[in-house]
Amino acid sequence: MSSHREAPAISKDPVADNTDTYAFVSPDDPGTVTIITNYLPLEPPFGGPNFYEFGDDVRYDIHIDNNGDGKPDITYEFAFETLVRDPNTFLYNTGPIDSIDSANWNRRQFYTITLIKHGKRRVLARGLACPPCNIGPGSTPSYETLAAEAIHSIGGGRTVFAGQRLEGFYVDLGAIFDLADLRPFEKLHLGGMANSLGVNATNGFGVHSIAIKVPKAELTRDGSSPTNPMSSGSVIGVWAAASRQKSVIRESHGKRHVAGSWVQVSRLGNPLVNEVIVPMGEKDLWNSLTPADDKRFLKHVQHPELAGLLPVLYPGVFPKLAGLTAARADLVAVLLTGLPSGIIPGFQNYTGKTYADELRLNMAIPPTTSNPNPLGLIGNDAAGFPNGRRVFDDVVSVELRAIAGATYPLVNKGYTPDGAASAITDGLTDADTTYLPVFPYLGTPQGGYQTAPLGLVAS
């Protein structure tokens, strides 16, 4: 998956598990950039009586690097507080929740957002309300209305939302983690799978999203709104993270106390990096570091384990990939430095020589509003991944094809990839889930009442 349960430690701490991060020029407001980061992977809609929420003891951060050193120049920090109206009932709500300030909603969450820039902290807003989870027609009869009430304008052209959304990341987990049983070569796999259609394992699940839309000029190092795609000042690096305090004391009567400095426990820039690039023994370490430290993982990007496995799992399908033993400079460019000018005419998202796992977004490239291609840059749509990441981008297919050698001609014009490299996929498309055309772009989460416990089929 993108980074759901991607490391041993964070798989046991879903409230802090950073599952997906997106960054793109807002298609309905192109003077702004939208950044979304998700937590709490794989939320079944039928989650009561204790429905999902952000952690009051977790600090959630969105980081922007605008000078290419792999360190945050701008951070949006989100801190949450849960308030219970009546602790003497087990109920999440005591009647229909018809507004986010409804007296029937018993367990509410609010948050403070702080901007950290040049080492100075400034609170942008306090007491912003989250929506409840989508429970069902009796408890949340008009969920879209509740979610809309939780979209807040906080001044300076900024808009924020924090709450439950429909999972937008589509992936066939069963096939991928069954020794990379992939399409359209499934019958050639050692498992000999006969099903040519992908199964969206995340279908119907929810996530908890933090979304912020800000003017482009707030993100550049010189305060300008970029217009020249070939200018280095048009490119930013984006990643998100979650941190917990160092010390936890548990008392015998159920109370606990936290103290100490904040320690990062998860992060996410490019999808699938810690998932399938970083080896098991280094995953927890990777989650604790900033992108500025990513040179230590360079060899895993240059020689990805999956690239060596594909020819073994599919004999005869990837003969050229089997012979490709050189360090993968193409993957380094895609994931760790961005693509410099001259590789793709009229495009670049290069941040410099520092190896850093970040989503690199060229803000001067306008959004594709008519027939955007979910394959992004390899589908000739420069507004998509790996130029940032839109919510509907098919990052699984893009990265599988890149690992299989489809992007190697970017750095070696004489290399012709295996034909399979441009076809490999898990069999899913963006049609396997739903999105919104406007902020916060991820779709409406399903209510548990309407969802079959085993089917999780979108209605």
Residues 211, 441 contacting (CB under 8 angstroms): yes
Residue 396 CB neighbour total at 10 angstroms: 24
Could you read off the pLDDT of 403-437 as tens digits, one per residue? 999 999 999 999 999 999 999 999 988 888 999 99
Question: What are residue 324's phi and psi, to 5 degrees?
Answer: -90, 95
Torsion of CA 289, 295, 297, 298, to 10 degrees: 160
- Rounded-to-integer distance, Cα 381 and Cα 368, Å: 7
Tell me how far CA of residue 356 lies from CA of 55, 109, 289, 297, 351, in angstroms.
Answer: 28, 34, 11, 10, 9
Please report how many Cα atoms fall inside a 13 Å half-sphere around the Cα of residue 169, on the Cβ side.
Answer: 26
Could you tell me which residues are beta bridge partners of residue 259? 247
Contacts of residue 122, Cβ cutoff 8 Å, sequence gap at least 6: 114, 115, 116
- What pLDDT was estimated at residue 23? 98
Residues 233, 225 contacting (CB under 8 angstroms): no
Closest CA to 429 of 172, 251, 100: 172
In 259-271, which positions are buried (b, 16+ CB within 10 angstroms) versus exposed (e)?
eeeeebbbbbbbb
- Rounded-to-integer distance, Cα 394 and Cα 220, Å: 27
Could you read off the pLDDT of 291-336 as tens digits, one per residue? 999 999 999 999 999 999 999 999 999 999 999 999 999 999 999 9
- What pLDDT was estimated at residue 459? 36
Contacts of residue 370, Cβ cutoff 8 Å, sequence gap at least 6: none
Question: What are residue 87's phi and psi, to 5 degrees?
Answer: -75, -5
- Rounded-to-integer distance, Cα 292 and Cα 282, Å: 16
Strand 159-166: give its sheet, edge to edge. 18-25, 32-43, 206-215, 159-166, 152-153
Could you read off the pLDDT of 278-303 as tens digits, one per residue? 999 999 999 999 999 999 999 999 99
- What pLDDT was estimated at residue 186? 85
Tell me how far CA of residue 87 lies from CA of 79, 83, 91, 92, in angstroms.
Answer: 22, 10, 9, 10
The predicted model gives 381-385 an average pLDDT of 98
pTM as predicted: 0.95
Could you read off the pLDDT of 435-457 as tens digits, one per residue? 999 999 999 999 987 765 444 44
- List the structure tokens of 47: 């989650």
Residues 54, 48 contacting (CB under 8 angstroms): no
Residues 43, 207 contacting (CB under 8 angstroms): yes
